[in-house]
Amino acid sequence: MQLAQATVTVDLSKIEDNARILVEALPGVAIVGVTKVTCGTPEIALAMLAGGVTGLGESRLENAARLRDAGVTAPVWLVRAPSPATADEAVRVSDVSMVSEIAIVEALDAAAGRAGRRYGIVAIVDIGDLREGMMPGELPGFLDHVATCEHIDILGIGASLTCYGAIVPDESNLALLAALAAEAEVQLGRTLLVSGGSSTSIAPVMAGRGPATIDNLRLGEAIVLGVDPATREPIPGLDLHRDAVTVSAPVIECKVKPSMPIGTCAQDAFGNVPSFEDRGDCRRAICAIGRQDVVPEQLVPVDPRIIVLGASSDHLVLDVEDLPVPPAIGEPIAFVPGYSATLALFTSLYVAKEFING
């Protein structure tokens, strides 16, 4: 088999299975399927919806527009707040934004008025990860101000964990979120949804370590890659597919070479000073993919006898010494990518995408 260029293959039936497994494992919790790691790929969004998610999460307006242009009508959440200058586009392509700044809410309110529609927000509070979110003491004043907006509906209270500060959800921070939501419900006089985080919240919620009032999660990595982002390991109690996404790249060179570069070592193309293990001469293959397309450290070869040695911008260097037959020129070598690698692969213009079992 010959492969023309690096190609991501997505098994849509496995995406759908993962979504369904998670929906069934979390009764009473509405799941927003986050498609941002795949740049809003409509085929993946539709597979998530077929698996039972109630809406889709995106961080980029371009990706949300891609979903709408493909005919996706499900609710779209912006899991990164839009800037005020993009409020009209946000209102056009999405239904909900996670917001912590009054200036952004005011811009969305004005845009919703121009569009003749109502628009939802989830007030996002920082409960320890120190990425986005207002500090808890700011929430009452924020809600009072937003309640005066003519075209905005306050749908709930939410938080983000693990993505920046690597803080995992636990009994303490999830209880804080639930308490803030309960106080907000008293303040506003109505029930609010409690959006308790992303894929790292699955395990504590399933184990009962999260308050019962958490009724919304935003799940991306668990659906697409089948792992807990806090550990990159399987989620206990769930038999999720971890190979729904694979990438293959064609071999463009295969030769026996020394394992140590020859000469004086300086910086590589990315400003690093590399180190090498002297393993004598070994057979090395080069695949047509590189750091412009992928994070090579997050590529796991499907064949465990292959070792990823490193990469430059456009070349992936592999140790294939243990293969019984050297790979032919043009032959594809397959890998399972991690989260950062998947993000880069879907962003790259130079990697083809194909979908199977849709």
Q: Is the pLDDT of residue 237 over 80?
A: yes
Encode 144-200 in three state secondary structure: HHHCCCCCEEEEEEECCCCCCCCCCCCHHHHHHHHHHHHHHHHHHCCCCEEECCCHH
Could you tell me where the DSSP H helices lie in the chain? 12-25, 42-50, 61-69, 87-93, 102-115, 139-146, 171-188, 202-206, 221-224, 339-347
pTM of the model: 0.95
What confidence tens digit (pLDDT) does each residue in 51-110 have? 999 999 999 999 999 999 999 999 999 999 999 999 999 999 999 999 999 999 999 999
Residue 345: per-residue pLDDT: 98
**Does residue 36 have an active-site annotation?**
yes
Confidence of residue 267 (pLDDT cuts 50, 70, 90): confident
Residue 26: per-residue pLDDT: 97
Delimit the CATH 3.20.20.10 region(s) of the chain. Answer: 12-224
Mean pLDDT of the chain: 96
Q: Is the pLDDT of residue 133 over 90?
A: yes
Q: Is the pLDDT of residue 118 over 90?
A: yes
What confidence tens digit (pLDDT) does each residue in 23-40 have? 999 999 999 999 999 999
Q: Is the pLDDT of residue 185 over 80?
A: yes
**β-bridge pairing 7-11 and 245-258:** antiparallel
Delimit the CATH 2.40.30 region(s) of the chain. Answer: 245-356
Separation between Cα atoms, residue 318 and residue 301, nearest integer Å: 10
Residue 268: per-residue pLDDT: 77
% of the chain with per-residue pLDDT over 90: 92
Write out the CATH class of domain 245-356: mainly beta
Instruction: Please report, as a single letter, which amino acid is at residue 86.
Output: T
Q: Which listed residue (14, 36, 255, 257) is catalytic? A: 36
Q: Is the pLDDT of residue 1 over 90?
A: no
Instruction: Please report, as a single letter, which amino acid is at residue 328.
Output: A
Single out the residue of 265, 257, 248 nearest to residue 337, CA to CA. 248
Single out the residue of 99, 44, 97 nearest to residue 67, CA to CA. 44
Q: Mean pLDDT across the stretch 263-292?
A: 88
Architecture of the CATH domain 12-224: Alpha-Beta Barrel (3.20)
Q: Is the pLDDT of residue 269 over 80?
A: no
What are the percentages of helix, strand and coil residues in the chain, rounded to 5? Answer: 30, 25, 45
Residue 273: per-residue pLDDT: 80
